[in-house]
Structure 1
């Protein structure tokens, strides 16, 4: 009797399929607090597992229009899913060409996280509500008082447990400005950082 044939065993290693990570590039005008904060986001396990975040800081602390133009160039890379620009309005003197930067970003699909008057407003919202107008100097003083730091650099890990609270406060500010008809740049105080958080964190986390 001829020996029974058996099916050859497939020796190729079977790997579990996992979804491909999204790639987001964030362009920052500041070289301290904004990158510090976003780097802390990158280190969160659920963010690290689902989203690759690349931070680019303008070496000349470029104005918003410069950031948007750099983001447009980078967005042409097919490997990148989203480009974001993080910048401030500044009060009492605004950054130049803000309206042009915003329109150019809209025309090319660049996402914006604008803080009005400055990024420190977003930091403040981690600890308390803030609904009254602030100029840049006042926001910086208040932010330092709340977290006890001396300069621009922040201990971003302290902020991570409070980021959802900050996002809720920022979203409520945006809703209030919309109801009141307060249009940019008169939407002070406000921060679009809550939208960047929603982009980098999987829903439900």
Structure 2
């Protein structure tokens, strides 16, 4: 008699079995940033991209007092002791004309503990500008912030990630070209204004 259901056999073969795929373990990346609006908005936009969500658990930690770079790196050093954490990134600004304190100390500490950095010079808004157009002029922070708001029309610090996600590869291309230009001119950190290491962050997260 022919059997139906789970016990059904193929002619001359073994019983049919249901194969269940095992979901691969997600890579855990923790991101520390000093901003409370534009940077978190942007990182959360990256986090929601389907190909990122399928492969990476992207966790965001914000210092409650908008901590200086050295504070963020120290937080990352402690967080990286967790064996479940694969990678830590710190996103912070240089700021002009008054640089953030302890910038070099933050970089040295990060290198010693394999904490990855995406530094924007003078500020994160230069990265936002690069989504829309080239920008090669040395600028102060307030000038760059105003220029960024003029390009996307926002009134506050928060950004519409729907505007920025489709343009991120073009921003990465422009940021990489700026980096090459500074290297060719011998302009090293913190004199590499304008610049942003966010293109390296994107490459690390998106693959």
User: The residue matched to 1:159 in structure 2 has which SS?
Assistant: helix
Partner of 1:3: none
Work out which of the residue numbers 21, 25, 29 in structure 2 matches 1:20: 25
Measure the CA separation in 1 of the matches of 2:20 and 2:28: 23
Count of matched residue positions in the alignment of Structure 1 and Structure 2? 195
Work out which of the residue numbers 177, 183, 188 in structure 2 matches 1:183: 188
**TM-score in terms of structure 2 length:** 0.91
Partner of 1:57: 62
Give runs of aligned pairs for residues 71-110 of structure 1, distance below 5 A.
Answer: 71-110=76-115
Query: 1:178: how far off?
Result: 1.0
2:176 is the counterpart of 1:171? yes
Query: 1:9: how far off?
Result: 6.9
Measure the CA separation in 2 of the matches of 1:57 and 1:132: 30
Measure the CA separation in 2 of the matches of 1:10 and 1:97: 65
Query: 1:20: how far off?
Result: 2.1
Question: Gaps spanning 5+ residues in structure 1: where?
Answer: 1-7
Work out which of the residue numbers 2, 22, 38 in structure 2 matches 1:33: 38
Measure the CA separation in 2 of the matches of 1:38 and 1:185: 24
* 1:15-52 Cα distance to aligned partner (Å, 9 max, x none): 22443211100001000000000001111101100111
Measure the CA separation in 2 of the matches of 1:60 and 1:22: 28
Query: 1:53: how far off?
Result: 0.3
Measure the CA separation in 1 of the matches of 2:25 and 2:183: 36
**TM-score in terms of structure 1 length:** 0.91
Measure the CA separation in 2 of the matches of 1:36 and 1:73: 24
After superposition, the CA RMSD in angstroms is 1.6
Measure the CA separation in 1 of the matches of 2:149 and 2:37: 14
Query: 1:10: how far off?
Result: 9.9
Higher relative contact order (CA 8 A, sep 6+): 1
User: The residue matched to 1:60 in structure 2 has which SS?
Assistant: coil
Measure the CA separation in 2 of the matches of 1:83 and 1:9: 48
Measure the CA separation in 1 of the matches of 2:160 and 2:97: 28
User: The residue matched to 1:87 in structure 2 has which SS?
Assistant: strand
Measure the CA separation in 2 of the matches of 1:147 and 1:87: 22
Question: Gaps spanning 5+ residues in structure 2: where?
Answer: 1-13
